[in-house]
């Protein structure tokens, strides 16, 4: 704009009389000065704008170009370990827990020293053990009396706390469920073992063992399992202290369902023995659920009592005015 202003003034001055050079010069000087001032102001304004723009863009631009400083791995490591421990504890409490086999009572299905994974989730949804399942349960009434107690070191204690090893303080056993509430289980002679009158074909019994043991300590029996209880036996029939040999306790050899930790589903260790623990087909044979009349009556009795209590109340409410 300064150049245009000066050029306009110069053309106009050329047409004026020569008698007034003094007036033209100051006017040109004034114009030059004013145009210079305008140029200076324009330049100052431009500089000011650039400074303001660079000042505004500087912090945001540098923030976008420079990512935040990352945490050191060693600072994050304790956090990661803490999260892993919490997850392991939650898994142990609600999902799956590892247990070690302490004896040969479940041979050859399980060997001493095997590690099994136990499903602890399904019991939270009301699922109860079924015939043929291998289950871990708390000692119901001093079944393990006199058994040696292991003395774990600090590392084993920590691993057991997070569920990677079984706890030495917990008195747990592992057996196979033979009878559930309402079943009649019996052994005569060397077998076969019968449930509700049906003979079981038990391929999991230890080779050389008979399904029933001939002794006077509990090997010969006929029992009816109450509702809410289980009758359990080891697969190594002649080397298992199970329901048969605890009939003198408070539960008459039965295991309360509430004492069951969960079903053993996988042999996880050693690797060469890895495998699942399925239910034998013998427990699916027809007629196994046909319980004797007395057992069926005992099973139906609680429901019948509840119904007998509800019907009078319902009739009374129907006869009330306005009900």
Residues labelled catalytic = 105, 175
Tokens 């589903």 belong to residue: 265
Q: What is the DSSP letter of 68?
A: P
Interior/surface letters 160-174, b for 16+ CB within 10 angstroms, e for the rest = beebebbbeeebbbb
Tokens (6 digits) for 323: 């009900």
- Measured CA to CA, the distance from residue 323 to residue 316 in angstroms comes to 9
* CA 295 to mean position of chain CA atoms: 38
- Measured CA to CA, the distance from residue 96 to residue 90 in angstroms comes to 9
Q: Which distant-in-sequence residues (6+ apart) come within 8 Å of 133 by Cβ? A: 176, 177, 263, 279
* CA 273 to mean position of chain CA atoms: 25
């Amino acid at each position: 704009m300064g150049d245009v202003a000066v050029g306009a003034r110069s053309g106009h001055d050329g047409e004026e009389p020569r008698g007034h050079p003094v007036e033209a010069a100051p006017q040109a000087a004034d114009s030059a000065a004013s145009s210079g001032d305008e140029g200076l102001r324009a330049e100052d304004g431009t500089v000011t704008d650039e400074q303001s723009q660079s000042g505004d863009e500087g912090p945001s631009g540098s923030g976008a170009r420079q990512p935040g400083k990352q945490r050191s791995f060693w600072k994050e490591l304790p956090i990661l370990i803490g999260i892993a421990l919490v997850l392991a504890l939650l898994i142990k409490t609600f999902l799956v827990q590892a247990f070690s086999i302490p004896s040969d009572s479940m041979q050859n299905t399980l060997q001493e020293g095997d590690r099994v994974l136990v499903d602890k989730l399904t019991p939270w949804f009301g699922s109860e053990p079924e015939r043929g399942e291998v289950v871990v349960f708390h000692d119901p009434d001093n079944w393990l009396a006199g058994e040696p107690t292991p003395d774990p070191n600090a590392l084993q204690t920590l691993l057991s706390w997070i569920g990677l090893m079984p706890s030495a303080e917990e008195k747990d056993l592992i057996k196979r469920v033979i009878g559930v509430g309402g079943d009649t289980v019996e052994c005569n002679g060397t077998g076969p073992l019968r449930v509700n009158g049906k003979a079981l074909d038990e391929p999991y019994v230890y080779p050389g063992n008979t399904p029933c043991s001939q002794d006077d300590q509990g090997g010969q029996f006929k029992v009816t399992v109450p509702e809410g209880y289980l009758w359990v036996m080891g697969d190594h029939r002649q080397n298992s202290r199970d329901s048969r040999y605890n009939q003198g306790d408070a539960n008459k050899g039965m295991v309360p369902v509430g004492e069951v930790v969960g079903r053993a589903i996988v042999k996880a260790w050693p690797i060469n023995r890895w495998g699942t623990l399925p239910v034998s087909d013998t427990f699916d044979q027809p007629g196994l659920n046909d319980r004797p009349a007395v057992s069926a009556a005992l099973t139906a009795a609680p429901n019948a009592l509840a119904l007998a209590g509800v019907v009078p109340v319902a009739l009374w409410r129907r006869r009330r005015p306005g009900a």
